[in-house]
Amino acid sequence: MRTMIQRVSIRVAKSLVVLFIVLGLLSAASALWAFSKLPRTFGVPYSFVIIETYGPQDLNVPMAKIYLEPPSSEQDLGFEGASLKHTSKAVPHFQAAIPLPGVVVTGSGTIHFGRNRIDVSDGKIAINGRSIENHDSERILLGTSEFEVRDDFRKTGPLEIVLGRNGWYLESRVRIAR
């Protein structure tokens, strides 16, 4: 009887080990898949475009900065909307001594980039139908049109989003690779 219990215990233990290995592999595969979808946050100077959105009341401080995943150019963008005003303009970047390529946007309308639709309404933005709010206490770790993951720490200032062509975004800046 004792050997029967030992055999069953060994089989259960082996089954649990196999189950944990399979769960670990699935978790690792899903993490790698999600990591591969993230927009790149490093680029060489002049390989990306910065969109700055301004509200109607203050044209000095942007409400949001959207860094388009490198490489990108102004030819990748499409603009729609009678009241959407967009101007190509060099905009400041925290690592660059001279301003980098950008587009300053005011009014309301739609911007197209890759598979993305960026709806702008007087400085407020929605990416692929998901409103991107500037919450004082929450930072966007990862977002798509289906879900969004936030944490409880956020720096002050305008919202800064890196947007990939595939519709995935995160709150960050594109850093200049050296």
Beta carbons of 75 and 61 less than 8 angstroms apart:
no
The token pair at 145 is 């049109």
Q: What's the confidence (pLDDT) of residue 169?
A: 94
pLDDT at 1: 62
Name residues of the chain where pLDDT drops below 70: 1, 134-136
Burial class (CB in 10 A: 0-12, 13-18, 19+), 169: buried
Same domain assignment for residues 1 and 52: no
pLDDT given for residue 42 in this prediction = 92
Give the pTM.
0.83
Residue 17 shares a structural domain with residue 48: no
Q: Are residues 83 and 107 in the same domain?
A: yes
Beta bridge partners of 164: none
Query: Tell me, what's the pLDDT at 136?
Result: 66
> Within 13 Å, how many C-alpha atoms sit on residue 165's CB side?
9
Q: Which residues contact 1 (CB under 8 A, 6 or more apart)?
A: none
The count of C-alpha atoms lying within 13 angstroms of the C-alpha of 152, restricted to the half-sphere facing its C-beta, is: 0
For residue 98, the model assigns a pLDDT of 92
Position 160 scores a pLDDT of 92
Both 70 and 8 in a single domain?
no
pLDDT at residue 32 in the model? 94
**Tally of domains in the chain:** 2
Peptide bond into 71 cis (omega under 30): yes
Residues 3 and 51 in one domain: no
Q: How many residues does the chain have?
A: 178
Q: Do 16 and 103 sit in the same domain of this protein?
A: no
Quote the domain boundaries for residue 29: 1-37
